[in-house]
Amino acid sequence: MIRRLISIVYIVIGLIVANSHQYFSSLNTIRLIISAVLAVLLWPLLLLGVNLHL
Using 50, 70 and 90 to split pLDDT, how confident is the model at 6?
A: very high
Question: What is the pLDDT at residue 8?
Answer: 97
Position 48 pLDDT exceeds 90: yes
Percent of the chain past pLDDT 90, that is, above it, reads 87
Using 50, 70 and 90 to split pLDDT, how confident is the model at 52?
A: confident
**Residue 31: C-alpha distances to residues 17, 18, 20, 23 (Å):** 19, 15, 19, 11
Please state at what angle helix 30-41 crosses helix 2-20, rounded to 10 degrees.
130
Over the stretch 26-38, which tens digit does the pLDDT of each residue have? Answer: 899 999 999 999 9
Say how far apart CA 35 and CA 27 lie, in whole Å: 9
